[in-house]
Amino acid sequence: MSRKYTIFVNHPSYCLTDCEPKGDGLLAFQYIDRLARRGHELYVAAPIVKLREPLHPNVHLFVVNTVMRPSWEFPSGPHRIEFALRVRHLFKHLQRKISFDVIHQLNPVTTGVNLFLPAKSIPFVVGPLPPSWAKESASRLGLLAAYHSIFRYMIRWEMFRRASCILIPVPGGRDIVPNIHILRSRIKLLHYGIDTKQFAPKNNFPSATKFDLHVLFLANMYKVKGIYDLLQAFEITIKSVPQARLTIAGDGPERESVKRMVDAMPDSNRITMLGSISRDKLANLFHSCSVYCLPSHGEPFGMTALEAMSCGKPVVATAAGGLDYLVDEQGGVKVPVGDVEKLAEALTRLLKDPQLCRQMGNHNREVAVSEYDWDRVISNLEEIYEQAIQGQ
């Protein structure tokens, strides 16, 4: 696409980062950086920024400082309001000398922040929106409960009404938008992307005689990630596959509880807990496993599963949330949420069949390259911008 856009990016939630284990911030950075590398000019407002590498020259970053300090994990309501007002002031200032083609409020979408922007004549793109099951999982942790209020619903409705395009990462995410024709027609599917060169298979795929019976779990340590289900399933699996190993990577509030459970298991010597892993080591971690397992109770998308797929690995996951759309029957085995027996059966089946693992891994690699490579995702986003600008 030859046309270059001038884009105002509002990223009010969490942080913007190229190195921290903050999925939304990492994805936002990729959208911004890759658009800039295609020649688009971006003006980006964010409350928290942590970058290891310099931004592309086409990215003009504005760190919006507020009196109400934002939380690294979850910005508070008062902070969001103050942030929105300050972004409004910034946008009006920039608009005096810059003609913007589009405004994009990136993921995760903070309800109502865009309503402060005085830009009715400029196309507004929102998303990709976290699907409804992601909020349900969060509410079980005592978070985002206010979304159930009438006031929040009204604000969200107004946000959707103003949006030219509403982006969702998986088809099932449509249920977050009210079932009204004028809004449904604005929904566009935009997958999250992956660097298929960074996350690529190793050339020397192990032969059947050297097949390592190694299961990998990589996620933040929350109960909803299914870590306790996996530990129970692994206890069953190891009875049929005594040489199986399990590696648990990631950190979080459940880490100590998980460690106690592991220590109490009779086969604890077959389980390794690595803690946090830097992003530059992730590909090698995926290479080391035979099967990737993420038995999440409601994953918004399943980025680590996609990373494993891009590395040519089979996936065992739950038939829930984004994983239900991401993993197909040719690339993995899906089980019901919380079904420890089925999870153990799936792990045992793959660990006992190296050829099946190889076939599934090859299929997953093809899917990652053909559907989720960042070049394809950014091309789709450029088309969405053009549709928004043309009023389609």
Question: Residue 158 has what pLDDT?
Answer: 76
What mean pLDDT is predicted for residues 101-114? 74
pLDDT above 90: percentage of residues in the chain: 58
User: Does 200 reside within a domain?
Assistant: no
What is the CATH number for 20? Answer: 3.40.50.2000
> What value does the mean pLDDT of the chain take?
86
Supply the range of the domain harboring residue 225. Answer: 208-371
Quick: pLDDT tens for 278-335.
Answer: 888 999 999 999 999 999 998 888 999 999 999 999 999 999 989 999 999 999 999 9
Question: Residue 212 has what pLDDT?
Answer: 78
What mean pLDDT is predicted for residues 323-350? 96
pLDDT at 227 over 80: yes
Q: What confidence tier does 144 reach under pLDDT thresholds 50, 70, 90? A: very low
Query: 180 and 221 share a domain?
Result: no
Query: 73 and 61 share a domain?
Result: yes
Query: 367 and 240 share a domain?
Result: yes
Query: 148 and 240 share a domain?
Result: no
Instruction: Show the tokens assigned to 261.
Output: 């459970």
What mean pLDDT is predicted for residues 172-193? 80
CB 58 within 8 A of CB 40: yes
pLDDT at 178 over 80: no
Q: What confidence tier does 64 reach under pLDDT thresholds 50, 70, 90? A: confident
Query: 233 and 357 share a domain?
Result: yes
Question: Residue 72 has what pLDDT?
Answer: 52
| Structural domains counted in the chain | 2
Distance CA 360, CA 95 (A): 51
Query: 269 and 283 share a domain?
Result: yes
Query: 81 and 32 share a domain?
Result: yes
Query: Whose CA is closest to 391, among 163, 146, 113?
Result: 163
Distance CA 162, CA 51 (A): 32
Q: What confidence tier does 342 reach under pLDDT thresholds 50, 70, 90? A: very high
User: Does 81 reside within a domain?
Assistant: yes
User: Does 202 reside within a domain?
Assistant: no
Which is more confidently placed, 336 or 172?
Answer: 336
CB 64 within 8 A of CB 45: yes
Question: Residue 70 has what pLDDT?
Answer: 60
Question: Residue 146 has what pLDDT?
Answer: 45
User: Does 274 reside within a domain?
Assistant: yes
Query: 137 and 188 share a domain?
Result: yes
Q: What is the pTM of this model?
A: 0.85
Give the CB-side neighbour count of residue 25, counting CA atoms within 13 A.
21
pLDDT at 109 over 90: no
Query: 360 and 385 share a domain?
Result: no
Q: What confidence tier does 137 reach under pLDDT thresholds 50, 70, 90? A: very low
The CA-to-CA distance between both ends of the chain, in Å, stands at 17
Question: Residue 25 has what pLDDT?
Answer: 86
Q: What confidence tier does 71 reach under pLDDT thresholds 50, 70, 90? A: low
User: Does 280 reside within a domain?
Assistant: yes
User: Does 199 reside within a domain?
Assistant: no
Query: 41 and 146 share a domain?
Result: yes
Which three-class secondary structure string do you get for the chain? CCCCCEEEEECCCCCEECCCCCHHHHHHHHHHHHHHHCCCEEEEEECCEECCCCCCCCEEEEECCCCCCCCCCCCCHHHHHHHHHHHHHHHHHHHCCCCCCEEEECCCCCCCHHHHCCCCCCCEEECCCCCHHHHHHHHHCCCCHHHHCHHHHHHHHHHHHHCCEEEECCHHHHHHCCCCHHHHCCEEECCCCECCCCCCCCCCCCCHHHCCCEEEEECCCCHHHCHHHHHHHHHHHHHHCCCCEEEEECCCCCHHHHHHHHHHCCCHHHEEEEECCCHHHHHHHHHHCCEEEECCCCCCCCHHHHHHHHCCCCEEEECCHHHHHHCCCCCEEEECCCCHHHHHHHHHHHHCCHHHHHHHHHHHHHHHHHHHEHHHHHHHHHHHHHHHHHCC
Quick: pLDDT tens for 204-224.
Answer: 554 444 567 999 999 989 999
Question: Residue 318 has what pLDDT?
Answer: 96
Quick: pLDDT tens for 1-57.
Answer: 568 999 999 886 668 888 887 778 888 999 999 999 999 999 999 888 999 999 999
Report for 104-113, 164-173, 370-379: range of highest mean pLDDT: 370-379
Question: Residue 136 has what pLDDT?
Answer: 46
Distance CA 323, CA 318 (A): 7
pLDDT at 143 over 70: no
Question: Residue 138 has what pLDDT?
Answer: 44
Q: Which range, of 74-78, 125-129, 151-155, averages the lowest pLDDT? A: 74-78
Query: 324 and 334 share a domain?
Result: yes
pLDDT at 147 over 50: no
User: Does 201 reside within a domain?
Assistant: no
Query: 348 and 223 share a domain?
Result: yes
User: Does 203 reside within a domain?
Assistant: no
